Chain A
Amino acid sequence: MFRNQLYLGFLLALQVSCIPEKAVPKTIALYPTSDTLPENLLRCYVQFSHPMKAVDNLENIKLIDENNTVVKGAIFNNVYELWDAEQQQLTLILDPARVKTGLSAHEHIGSALVTGKSYRLVIEKMETVNHLEVKRFEKQFFVVPSDTIAPSMAHWNLQFPQVGSRDTLRISFRESIDRMSLYHSLTIADSDETVIKGSIEIGAKEKEWKFTPIEKWKKGSYKIHVNTRFADPSGNNLNGLFDHKIGSLKYEKEGERIEIPFSL
């Protein structure tokens, strides 16, 4: 009897030690991936390996300063947490009341992040949909002055593919771009306005957009569709600064489409 139990215990231990790496739930990345972030940072994304429980998590995500003190009220505590459809990516918003000039919290408490200081974003005690606890995650970063320059297409560097190839079309940027903007604000269409299917890869520090089509590039004219909501991690977009004066936006309506034509 005892021997059987020992044997079962051994089998169990073997099973536990043989769980593949992928099966252990963990935090894969925190975007922006750069280790220097602007004082007026608005949005971060946390990527998990497994579908996560999508409620009551924000208390488990803390911003900690150099003195090991939790910066209270730094992360905006939404009633509905902002997850992607697979519940593997969580959007974090730094309290915009502290980011925006003119609002009470900004005037009286100031920004949660202070230029020249180091911080840690700590994620712990979060659970998968099956209540498996995710390993503690920590990202350390240094804060640089607020980003008060809106992204501009004038500074984009485009690298076009060869006809007949499945070469990657690359756009590189001077600054880090918001991860979701890179996935959702840029598409390529042919002359019939048909969106070209392919895969998107994001370059280091979110400074490059790489598009590889499923089918070979054909000779003809194309357009890169750019949504003016294309933003940097501080919420500044192609239409203007996040924190801007009334009447200073380029387009009256947000979300207009700009086209960059090119021929191959």
Chain B
Amino acid sequence: MMKKISFISVVLAAILVIVVSGFSSLQKAAETAIDLEKVSLPGATVLAFGPDNVLFVGDSKAAVVHAIPTASQPLKDPVPFNFMDFDLKLAEVLQIDARDLIINDMKIHPVSQEAYFAIKKGHAPDAPSMIAIVSPTDGEIRFLEVTASNSTKSVIKNPASDDLKFWRDIPASTLTITDIDYHDGFIYVAGLSNGEFASTLRKIAYPFTTAQEAIKSLEVYHAVHTQMETRAPIRTMAITAVAGEPTLIASYTCTPLVSVPLSQIGEGNVIKGKTIAELGYGNTPIDMITYWTQEQDGSMDQKLLITHKHRSGSLIAMKDINKAVTEGKGMEGMMAQMPTGTAGMKITYSPTASVLHIDNQNQMMVATLKRNLETGGLDMVSELKGAFLRLSEFISEYDFPSYQYDEKQAATKQFHDMVKPMEGYPELVSEKTKE
């Protein structure tokens, strides 16, 4: 407990200093002319950061993964995002109506803590897409130059149309890249086709080689108790060590959570993944992140958070995943014990139902792009890991000026005093804490 409080205190002091000086220039969104030729791609949908701060951009329209170097100043302090109505500001910079702005993905730069967005300017099939960048320190919006001479790319083959020469009036088979993850010299690319329903996971060596042979397509399947195969695509995934072995944790289109040792993924391999949990009916997973958190007893614990389109997020302890992968038999024999739709391990719900995109921002915060249910706008805001909520979104008895925290609520008070400046309300921190 003491350990936790001391950690919080240090962070709190840092935030108080930063917040007072920050956000003064938030209003002055970049109004410089945008050179579309330098910043636009046909259809950027998915982003992932790789080694040496390279940004992987999955372009579904062009069936290409770009690797674009990014240069950024390190930001060591935990500066929170407090960018309300981000979509309106971005639309203003692009000189379009906010309803014509599409935000496909968001990732946080591992060094600068800037948010990178894959966006599309307009709904037309040929509307340009771009990578917008916003910094937590000044809120200014800029666009990534995608034509940099040192960027490279890899073409994704679409097996559904390999043999086909297109003729007029034939609906094109498209492959939508749904997730990209980098691990140890390879990117893993998941995709969904509009013309078939099968696993499409590709492993591509990075740095990219010129030959297309570097692209390996493979089929993933997993078993449930009936030993039925799931011919289904991966929706979102994360790569993390499970019992010391690099493992792909994948969420399927039809809700199972599956583990596949990375060592099994290779050219032509038929992979038997293991179903380790079911996330329940009606889930549409969006993002998957892992992070370390400090437990009540001071120990560090790794968590896996999966956010969903219309539901609360699923928060799972990695030690439970380790156990399911190494000891358990996956879902075998567990079907009869499945009364509520989720099963396999303890799944805690996180209040992330309005979160469109989430990523690790720093050791203590996640950055989220979330729908503000009151204004209808998209807010780019940081939240504390574990809490996954904004105190300022709720009015409770704590908020009345006359409220007095008693001694038993020391930890609650400390949490509130830490979160208030983080959310842009440093003046509400109690005088004692400020001292």
Contacts and interface: CB of A to CB of B under 8 A. Distances in A.
Chain A bound to chain B = yes
A141 to B, nearest CB: 20
Interface stretch (A50-58, A114-122, A156-164): A50-58
Interface stretch (A6-14, A15-23, A105-113, A167-175): A105-113
Interface string A66-103: 00000011001111101111111101010111101111
Contacts of B159: 229, 255
B152 interface: no
Contact of A43 (B61, B161, B197, B338): B197
A229 B219 contact: no
A54 to B, nearest CB: 7
Contact of A86 (B60, B123, B172, B196): B172
A242 B401 CA distance: 62
A93 B253 contact: yes
A10 B270 CA distance: 69
Interface stretch (B9-17, B69-77, B275-283): B275-283
A244 B198 CA distance: 13
Given A78-B192, A183-B170, A105 B255 contact: yes
For the residues of A in contact with B, the DSSP-based class is: loop
A246 B231 contact: no
Given A51-B125, A79-B235, A180 B309 contact: no
Interface in A202-227: 225, 227
A184 B99 contact: no
B254 A184 contact: no
A171 B243 CA distance: 53
Interface string B385-420: 000000000000000000000000000000000000
A258 interface: no
Contacts of A179: 171
A78 B191 CA distance: 12
Contacts of B45: 80
Contacts of B232: 96
A202 to B, nearest CB: 10
Interface string A41-67: 011010100011111000000000000
A107 B338 CA distance: 9
Nearest to A82: B194
Contact of B228 (A82, A84, A244, A255): A244
Interface string A233-264: 00100000011111001001111010000000
B228 A246 contact: yes
Contacts of A88: 171
A77 B310 contact: yes
A253 B309 CA distance: 32
Contact of A104 (B161, B268, B285, B343): B343
A91 B229 CA distance: 23
Contact of A76 (B160, B169, B223, B284): B284
B195 to A, nearest CB: 4
B170 A253 contact: no
A200 interface: yes
Nearest to A129: B123
B173 interface: yes
Contacts of A76: 253-254, 284
Contact of A244 (B160, B229, B339, B342): B229
Contacts of A43: 197
Contact of B335 (A55, A102, A200, A244): A102
A242 B125 contact: no
A139 interface: no
Contacts of A146: none
Given A198-B167, A229-B160, A254-B219, A93 B309 contact: no
Given A47-B171, A91-B195, A198-B167, 8 more contacts: A51-B125, A77-B310, A79-B235, A85-B174, A102-B226, A105-B341, A181-B195, A184-B164
Interface of B: 45, 60-61, 99, 102, 104, 122-125, 127, 159-161, 163-165, 167-174, 176, 178, 192-198, 219, 221, 223-232, 235, 253-256, 268, 270, 278, 280-282, 284-286, 309-310, 335, 338-339, 341-343
Shortest beta-carbon contacts, A-B, top 5? A180-B195, A82-B194, A105-B281, A97-B254, A129-B123
